[in-house]
Amino acid sequence: MAKRGSYAKGVAKREEILTRALEVIAREGFRGASVREIADAVGLSQAGLLHYFGSKEQLFVEILRKRDEIDAGRFEPGDMELAEMREGYLRVIRHNSEVPGVVELFSRLAVEASDATHPAHEYFLQRSALIRQLFTETVRKAQEDGRMSDRVDAEILARLFQAASDGMQLQWLLDPDVDMAATVDALFQLLAPVPVQADAAG
């Protein structure tokens, strides 16, 4: 038996805390929230919360992992075609524009975790690589079938998509009127195969 009752219960509680923390950050924003504030919000003392996560940074990483887990459900399961990838990605981005606090937490941590000794460094490296891998595969297939421009290598395009969405988050945090999803979608449009036009020569 790998799990005794109490252990399983501890895990369940952890999950519950993360879900509630995510809700609270989504609803009330982040603004550099302290462990104390999150503890209040989820109905624990600061020490009580840290009992589960050890440190502030570990708590934040786990919150972001929980978010990823939920976002994964916004994609179609299974092997991805370009159209589904586009739909799923835009769905996630549209959802993000409902939860500025989560976007802020993500962006902050992304910068801080650039230090190789930061507890979130591995998380960002792996997440980043995974997303690019999914994009690269989907884009490459689409390029082979002529459903996407092949002027630029698939791996570079994957990086550009990721950069566009991360960068749009910064623009949107600064000015919430910006339409993140529409702007990222413009990049998809740019990559649609060139329609054959009678006057293509100008």
Question: Under the rule (CB under 8 A), what is the footprint of a copy of itself?
Answer: 31-32, 104, 107-108, 110-115, 121, 124-125, 128, 146, 149, 151-153, 156-157, 159-160, 162-168, 170-171, 173-175, 178, 182-183, 186-187, 189-191, 193-194, 196, 200-202
Task: Between 34 and 126, name the residue whose CB sits nearer to DNA.
Answer: 34
Which pair of tokens denotes residue 189?
A: 């449009």
| Contact by Cβ (8 Å): 108, 32 | yes
Q: Choose the one of DNA, a copy of itself, none that binds residue 202, judging by a C-beta under 5 to 8 angstroms depending on kind.
A: a copy of itself
Least spacing, CB of residue 54 vs DNA, in Å: 7
Indicate whether 55 belongs to the interface with DNA (CB under 7 A): yes
Indicate whether 29 belongs to the interface with DNA (CB under 7 A): no
Least spacing, CB of residue 43 vs DNA, in Å: 7
Indicate whether 50 belongs to the interface with DNA (CB under 7 A): yes
Task: Between 97 and 183, name the residue whose CB sits nearer to a copy of itself.
Answer: 183
Closest CA to 18 of 67, 56, 72: 67
> With 0-12 CB in 10 A as exposed, 13-18 as middle and 19+ as buried, what is 21?
buried
Binds DNA (CB under 7 A): choice among 20, 56, 74, 127 = 56
- Distance (Å, whole) CA 90 – CA 88: 5
- Distance (Å, whole) CA 171 – CA 94: 15
Closest CA to 107 of 56, 179, 35, 32: 32
Indicate whether 10 belongs to the interface with DNA (CB under 7 A): yes
| Contact by Cβ (8 Å): 122, 99 | no
